[in-house]
Structure 1
Amino acid sequence: MLDIHMFSSATKVKGQGVGSAYMELVRLLESHFQNEFKVSINQYGRADISHYHTIDPRFFISTFSRRRGRKIGYVHFLPETLEGSLTIPQPFKGLFYHYVIAFYRRMDHLVVVNPSFIPKLVAYQIPASKITYIPNFVARQEFFPQKAEQIAAFRKQLGIPATKFVVLGAGQIQERKGVDDFVELARRNPDIQFIWAGGFSFGKMTDGYQRYKKIVDAPPANLRFTGIIERTELVNYYNISDLFLLPSYNELFPMSVLESFACGTPVLLRDLSLYRSIIAGYYVAAANVDAMNQQIADLRQKPAALAYMQQQARAAAAYYSEERLAKIWQQFYLEQAKEG
């Protein structure tokens, strides 16, 4: 039996995709390979494989132990993707960014959730041969299309009429997520209900915290900010929504997009090159707030187009299914164990 040690502190901060991706992988391994893999969490005993999900200093120190076995690093961000997320003053920002890359270089192998990160890591002098692309996934038992009566009941609970068009956004409230455009779209469409599921996961460290706090405290009448909510509750919001909109300026492979696909909710995203290589055809793209506004109007006025995007969401969910990814992770760990 392969002894895999997971190292993560991602679940300490609620409302971030890193924690969701980590929990999904642990659950997958424990449910599919309990007779093949022994999974331990934050244990420093001897391991065949040590898989690092977060870059805590204590984890970095542990990489120098011979007991760690094959060291795998999960790349959820690069220094440049943190811009617009956190406020880190100099010289601490420079030191932290240097540390991020030093951590990745300590790994025997890296896993990225988006192939667009591979050339960026190569630019940091990390060989492409040491990098593998494995996409995220979500569990079907947690995110799924609900029955009409469940959807009607939750809309009633929120006080949203059955015929009201609902646009949902999700994630941390920060500039990088395109929250400003989401707010602007709510202002332009007062007859549409906008909902943003998420909050300030990093509190006052969030870039632009004071400005966004004022918006959250006094949003347009047709815009609701739910604050940080449990993943188990998110499924209700995806299902009552006619459209999921994520106007982020940079991402890897957002868990929220996969969660939306799994619920059969059409997806509208900012037109970013990193999406094209992984989910092309499964979503509607828009370059800026004006284009997003037009796409919302078109989908709202054309039920057939909206229904087609529902089909594409379901197709994406099938492709990024837990069953397919389970086989990929199984093969990856077995190959890495041989390398060790």
Structure 2
Amino acid sequence: MKVLLFQKGEKMLRKSGIGRAMRHQMQALDLAGVEYTTNPDDDYDIVHINTVDPYARKMAKKANKKRIPVVYHAHSTEEDFKNSFVLSNQIAPVFKRWIMSSYKLGDYILTPTPYSKEILEGYGIQKPIQAISNGIDLNRFSKSDEKVKKYREFFNLSDDDRVILSVGLYFERKGLPDFIELAQRMPEYTFIWFGFSPLASVTKKVRDAIKEKPDNLIMPGYISGDIIEGAYADADIFLFPSYEETEGIVVLEALAGKCQVMLRDIPVYDPWMVDQVNCYKANNNDEFERLVKAYLEDEIPNTIAKGYEVARERSIEAIGYQLKEVYERNLRRKI
């Protein structure tokens, strides 16, 4: 069995969750002993598609004609498209029709969480849909003194600095304005937001919030490698105020880095993230502020150990074997 992991525009997607998901798939298949290629000109038995661009649709149609099974990975929904960039809400209904027609080209649909599976089923898609996590490389995010040192030196942090971390594009949906407001409310702590989007592409609410960012908020842009991995391992809190996700790979990264996780209480985290068990959840900035202060003042316990168990259940190794089973099942169905 040989799988074509089809992807175009890898450079453009590199900084996105979809880009990380595709890299995770390669690593997962290596560990599961599944042969794969990224070259459409190679021979292959099954096609796995992650994007909804015209190239991906063309590839799916080509495979359909040849009766080659197509596994379509549904990373996007109308819900997580909204409140992203300028005009995203106006374009969202068109985007929904496009992704639905793309996903229907698959023989089998994968999506990261039970929540996103429920959304797709609500669209009326009749193809089989299965929830499989995007997975996480536990080794990459295990604590390293060298990575922590690089991170602390990069941001010139003192031993007394208490750090609240978040990661994401400059999307309103990601909760960046809320994160900026929390930094304004708590000047005694250091806030860091990793990630970047061109300001011309983001909403006015995001641009206005960034203009008002306080001095205790650091926004270094997109940084990969040792520095962000050191941040996950050393920051006091990973606070992710996103309003909509299909999974949230950065949440898995924080759990794998054994960072205390605080999340907005939204449906995507049910049932795998449980308030006061493996994370803390809040509904608004008043609640986030109370949680942050209570945690940093040792008034509530950490949930780090239970959080790490969630990451371990979604290890790259486990995901590789789940993907292998999906491929084998779809090959049998096509015979």
Per the normalisation by structure 1, the TM-score is 0.89
Is residue 2:209 matched to residue 1:222? no
Is residue 2:120 matched to residue 1:121? yes
C-alpha deviation, 1:261, in angstroms = 0.8
Partner of 2:81: 82
Secondary structure, aligned partner of 1:126: coil
Task: Tell me if the contact between 1:10 and 1:22 (Cα under 8 Å) persists in the aligned partners.
Answer: no
Q: Distance in 2 between matches of 1:157 and 1:87?
A: 32
C-alpha deviation, 1:94, in angstroms = 4.1
Q: Distance in 2 between matches of 1:237 and 1:284?
A: 19
Secondary structure, aligned partner of 2:242: coil
Partner residue of 1:131 out of 129, 132, 140: 129
C-alpha deviation, 1:153, in angstroms = 5.2
Which shows bigger deviation, 269-278 or 65-74? 65-74
Task: Tell me if the contact between 1:113 and 1:252 (Cα under 8 Å) persists in the aligned partners.
Answer: yes
Alignment gaps of 5+ in structure 1:
none
Secondary structure, aligned partner of 1:277: coil
Partner of 1:95: 94
Task: String of CA shifts for 1:215-263, please: whole Å, max 9, x gaps.
Answer: 4466201000111122454202212310001000011111111111111
Aligned pair in 2 of structure 1 residues 319, 40: CA closer, same or farther (>3 Å)?
Answer: same
Q: What is the alpha-carbon root mean square deviation over aligned residues?
A: 2.3
Q: Distance in 1 between matches of 2:23 and 2:57?
A: 21
Secondary structure, aligned partner of 1:73: strand
Q: Distance in 2 between matches of 1:15 and 1:137?
A: 17
Q: Distance in 2 between matches of 1:264 and 1:56?
A: 36
Aligned pair in 2 of structure 1 residues 89, 288: CA closer, same or farther (>3 Å)?
Answer: closer
Q: Distance in 2 between matches of 1:42 and 1:217?
A: 44
Partner of 2:328: 334
Partner of 2:68: 69
Aligned pair in 2 of structure 1 residues 232, 67: CA closer, same or farther (>3 Å)?
Answer: farther
Is residue 2:191 matched to residue 1:197? no
Task: String of CA shifts for 1:259-297, please: whole Å, max 9, x gaps.
Answer: 111111010000112202222232110111110000001
Task: Tell me if the contact between 2:78 and 2:92 (Cα under 8 Å) persists in the aligned partners.
Answer: no
Partner of 1:161: 158
Q: Distance in 1 between matches of 2:124 and 2:210?
A: 42
Secondary structure, aligned partner of 1:249: coil
Is residue 2:304 matched to residue 1:305? no
Which shows bigger deviation, 40-49 or 83-92? 83-92
Is residue 2:284 matched to residue 1:288? yes
C-alpha deviation, 1:11, in angstroms = 4.1
Is residue 2:21 matched to residue 1:21? yes
Secondary structure, aligned partner of 2:164: strand
AA paired with 2:20? S
Secondary structure, aligned partner of 1:224: strand
Q: How does 1:139-154 map to 2 (within 5 A)?
A: 139-147=137-145, 150-152=147-149, 154=151
AA paired with 2:278? Y
Aligned pair in 2 of structure 1 residues 277, 91: CA closer, same or farther (>3 Å)?
Answer: closer
C-alpha deviation, 1:145, in angstroms = 1.8
Secondary structure, aligned partner of 1:96: helix
Q: Distance in 2 between matches of 1:304 and 1:103?
A: 46
Task: Tell me if the contact between 1:10 and 1:53 (Cα under 8 Å) persists in the aligned partners.
Answer: no
Task: Tell me if the contact between 2:193 and 2:219 (Cα under 8 Å) persists in the aligned partners.
Answer: yes
C-alpha deviation, 1:58, in angstroms = 1.8
Task: Tell me if the contact between 1:7 and 1:50 (Cα under 8 Å) persists in the aligned partners.
Answer: yes
AA paired with 1:161? S
Q: Distance in 1 between matches of 2:89 and 2:235?
A: 41
Alignment gaps of 5+ in structure 2:
none
Which shows bigger deviation, 61-70 or 245-254? 61-70
Task: Tell me if the contact between 2:168 and 2:194 (Cα under 8 Å) persists in the aligned partners.
Answer: yes
Is residue 2:268 matched to residue 1:274? yes
Aligned pair in 2 of structure 1 residues 122, 133: CA closer, same or farther (>3 Å)?
Answer: same
AA paired with 1:249? Y
Per the normalisation by structure 2, the TM-score is 0.90
Aligned pair in 2 of structure 1 residues 232, 330: CA closer, same or farther (>3 Å)?
Answer: farther
Secondary structure, aligned partner of 1:135: coil
Task: Tell me if the contact between 2:10 and 2:19 (Cα under 8 Å) persists in the aligned partners.
Answer: yes
Aligned pair in 2 of structure 1 residues 231, 71: CA closer, same or farther (>3 Å)?
Answer: farther
C-alpha deviation, 1:138, in angstroms = 1.4
Q: Distance in 1 between matches of 2:89 and 2:259?
A: 42
Task: String of CA shifts for 1:90-148, please: whole Å, max 9, x gaps.
Answer: 98654333111100111111001011122322222212x6101111211123211223x
Partner of 1:234: 228
C-alpha deviation, 1:205, in angstroms = 3.1
Task: Tell me if the contact between 2:82 and 2:92 (Cα under 8 Å) persists in the aligned partners.
Answer: no
Q: Distance in 2 between matches of 1:251 and 1:90?
A: 16
Partner of 1:181: 178
